[in-house]
Structures are given as C-alpha cells and as structure tokens.
Amino acid sequence: MSFDFTFLEQHWQTYLQGAWLTLQLSFFGVILGTVLGVFMALMRISRIWALKALASTYIELIRGTPMLVQVFIIHYGLTGFGINLPAFISGVVALTINSAAYMAEVFRAGIEAIDKGQAEAARSLGMTQGMTMRLIILPQAFRNMLPAIGNEFIIIIKDSSLISAVGIAELMFNARTVQGITFRPMEPLLAAAALYFVMTFTLSKLLGALEKRLRSR
C-alpha cells in the first residue's frame, strides 16, 4: 500500500481550521471545567451533607457515562425541553461538564494533601475559612495539581474529536470530510493524527516548562 499526501496541497487550510476549532473547544472546556471543578471539589469536602451528596452524585454520574452519550443528550436530548444549542456551545458544555467531574477529584485530592496545620494556623491569625481556602490552600494545591490539570487538557483535546458527531467542523470532522472528497481511507486520518500529536506534545512541553518554573520559586 502506497501513501499519497498530495491532497494536503489543496486541503491543508481545512486541517488548520479544524485544529484551531479543536483548540478553542478544548480551551473553553478546560477553563470552565476547572472553575466548575473547584466548586464541585469544595462541595465534595463540605460538611454540609446535601452539598456533599450532590457533588458526589454529579461526579459519579458523569464519570460513569460515555462522553459521546453526554454530547448527544446536550445537543439532541435537550431539544425535547425546548433548548436548542448551537453545535459549538453544545460541544463546550459537554466538554465542560465532563472535565469538571474529573477536575473536581483532582482538586479534592490536591486540597486534602495540604497539611491541615496550615489551615489551623491561618484561622488562628483571624482568617476566615473562605480566606484560608482562597489565599493559603488553593494556591498550593494548584501548584501540586498542575501536572494533572495538564493531563486533563491533553485528554480534552483528544476527546474533542467526539464533538464531530454533532456536526461541528473540528479537526476530526474535517478529516472525514477530506476522506470523502479524496476517496483516500487512511491518509486524511493520519494527517489528523499528526496534528493531534503536535498539539498535545507542544502543550505537554509548555506545561512541563511552567511546572519547572513554579517549582523553582
């Protein structure tokens, strides 16, 4: 079997546009997922039973169901309730709620790893629980969790390919479009795989450099 990548001369812009949309989906998914994940983690470690139960149910439900099903529920299922979301918004929402469930556990583990004596010392200085969490605990936890956050970003970039199922022209969707145009079964997919690798490898190196810089302080 011989490979022919000459189609890239005509369709390289299609791939770059898809890659750019993939990065946008992943960026918003991780940022919003991180924010929601922090709240879920705080609810998870809360002493209020109702908040703890709600967060635990959310986390287990999202982590226990396939992301593709979640995408279909958000984009197609919600139409039964009169909610019609554009494909891009559906993709961001799906990535956000999925990422938040995993980030919540990452943050919970990071928060619980901080020495409890620091919180006690902060409260002895007159700081409220909210101030202690915001100024003392979370900054240290974030530094410790940076590798896990980076891994989640990489996972979201790859999982964003599932959003193509609702018709948004991200990288995988565009690769399949080029497949249909060129009648080449393998090469368009290999080109997409190469772009995914470039994005995830570059992000991994950037996060590694950031982690070293933070640890050197």
Q: Exposed/middle/buried for 74, CB within 10 Å: 0-12, 13-18, 19+?
A: buried
pLDDT at 1 (0 to 100): 58
Mind listing the domains of the chain with CATH numbers? 14-215 (1.10.3720.10)
The whole-number average pLDDT for the span 122-144 is 76
Q: Of 214, 215, 38, nearest to 109 (Cα)?
A: 38
pLDDT for 45 equals 86
Taken as a whole, the chain contains a residue count of 217
Chain segment 33-52, per-residue pLDDT in tens: 989 998 999 899 888 899 99
User: Residue 124: pLDDT above 90?
Assistant: no
110: pLDDT strictly greater than 70: yes
SS3 217: coil
Mean pLDDT of 9-28: 92
Q: Tell me the pLDDT of the chain averaged across its residues.
A: 87
pLDDT at residue 206 is higher than 90: no
Residue 20 has pLDDT above 70, yes or no: yes
pTM: 0.85
- Gap between the Cα atoms of 196 and 200, Å rounded: 6
Q: What is the structure's pLDDT at 217?
A: 63
Number of H helices, E strands in the chain: 9, 0
Question: Could you read off the pLDDT of 157-182 as tens digits, one per residue?
Answer: 988 888 988 888 889 999 999 988 98
Phi-psi region of 197 (alpha: psi -120 to 50; beta: other; left: phi over 0): alpha
Distance CA 33, CA 35 (A): 5
Residue 107 has pLDDT above 90, yes or no: no
| Mean pLDDT value across residues 60-73 | 93
